[in-house]
Copies of this chain bind each other. A is one copy, B any other.
Amino acid sequence: MGMAGESQNWVLMVTAQTPTNIAVIKYWGKRDESLILPVNDSISVTLDPDHLCTTTTVAVSSSFQQDRMWLNGKEIPLSGGRYQNCLREIRNRASDVEDKKQGIRITKEDWGKLHLHIASYNNFPTAAGLASSAAGFACLVFALAKLMNVKEDESKLSAIARQGSGSACRSLYGGFVKWKMGREEDGNDSLAVQLVNEEHWDDLFIIIAVVSSRQKETSSTTGMRESVQTSLLLQHRAKEVVPKRILQMEEAIRNRDFASFAQLTCADSNQFHAVCLDTSPPIFYMNDTSHRIISIIEKWNRSEETPQVAYTFDAGPNAVLIARNRKTAASLIQRLLYYFPPNTDDLSSYIIGDKSILQDAGLEGIKDVEALLPPPEIKDNIPSQKYNGDVSYFICTRPGRGPVLLSDEGQALLNPVTGLPK
């Protein structure tokens, strides 16, 4: 080996932070299961990693006996094809690395023989159905690429992350991102490109309603396979509907045209769920609470001259609500708390993320929530029903940046000496 170290105990590590993303034109259906090639393009908005992100530390050492990984502190097997595909593709692109301070030199050829330790942590509940695998695989691939001195750009890296989890490819960039489905059989042109960065449209504010659910949900992998096999509407959507919507959405984003953006986002979310329902057996990701949130937004949007809020739902009941600006977001949180007040007095654990929106909305405490009046678009005098307990909590956030390296060793998840989780 070309590695030179004072002892066998050197550890070289890199820590990265990668955002999650939410599709506004949905990915649903693969044309190639193993390469994860989709049946249509999709577009997403990257969420601020301050509130929703994955942090991953990857380490290499000649003392490591095997590839190992820890997710949220718990060791998990790396034997799955998705991890193996990402590791293989990154290793194939590795370059020489030299760390003069530690006196380490690793050649391109060494990478195939060295083992890796990987530790990953989500700053949000994994079970909440918030695309943790998207941020996770993006972060894994981004961190490994930095560690191994892979020279390819984010777009090329996105095609590797795609092989871990399709939507992961869209987490390699901030702002608005398009996953081009590509045409090539090997999938090399199925990758993400940035449409605009996070500064282009920084008025937007996002509130995620994490909805309580008693149902066990169909995994998106299984769900989209069954949709491809059984839905008679999916191919029509993929071939006839989505290509036009992609063009319209790109234009709406370019022009910061919120009315078009909201119309397309809501329609595409609903159509994705329509295809799920057209699957045999049918897949229900939205529940009565999801429906109720849609009705609240639709009624409000229709009462205004132009849409105020867009909604979109992934493979679960959680609502992602995109408000046209902070002022609208303050009105939105008032409406949400009016219908879905917390079950306890503790507002600060019920509204997480960018809590400053509560001040904007004049909601300092539970008393202010209890004093909320019905929204003006409710015209009938029947007091509206309240749905305490139907939402677990709300996350307040905004569009955000792409992956970054964390150079502060204090943020690493692995011990720099042992290479094991801290």
- Give the B-binding residues of A (Cβ under 8 A): 214-215, 230, 232-233, 236-237, 240-241, 263, 266-267, 270-271, 273-275, 277-282, 284, 287-288, 291, 294-295, 298, 302, 385
Contact between A270 and B266, CB atoms less than 8 A apart: no
Minimum CB distance partner of A301 in chain B: B281
Say yes or no: A385-B214 contact (C-beta < 8 A), given A233-B236, A236-B236, A288-B288.
yes
Q: List 18 A-B contacts (CB under 8 A).
A: A215-B291, A232-B237, A232-B241, A232-B267, A233-B233, A233-B236, A236-B236, A236-B240, A267-B278, A267-B280, A270-B278, A270-B279, A270-B280, A274-B278, A281-B295, A282-B298, A287-B291, A288-B288
List chain B residues, Cβ under 8 A from A287.
288, 291
The quantity of this chain's copies bound in the complex is 2
Minimum CB distance partner of A292 in chain B: B215
Nearest-Cβ distance from residue A320 to partner chain B, whole angstroms = 16
List chain B residues, Cβ under 8 A from A385.
214
List chain B residues, Cβ under 8 A from A214.
385
Given contacts A232-B240, A284-B294, 15 further A-B contacts (CB under 8 A): A214-B385, A215-B291, A230-B267, A232-B237, A232-B241, A233-B233, A236-B236, A270-B282, A273-B277, A274-B277, A277-B277, A281-B298, A282-B298, A284-B291, A287-B288
List chain B residues, Cβ under 8 A from A263.
280
A278, A284, A302 pick with most chain B CB within 10 angstroms: A278
Q: Give A271 to B237 CA distance when docked, in angstroms.
A: 14
Nearest-Cβ distance from residue A173 to partner chain B, whole angstroms = 29
List chain B residues, Cβ under 8 A from A267.
230, 232, 278, 280
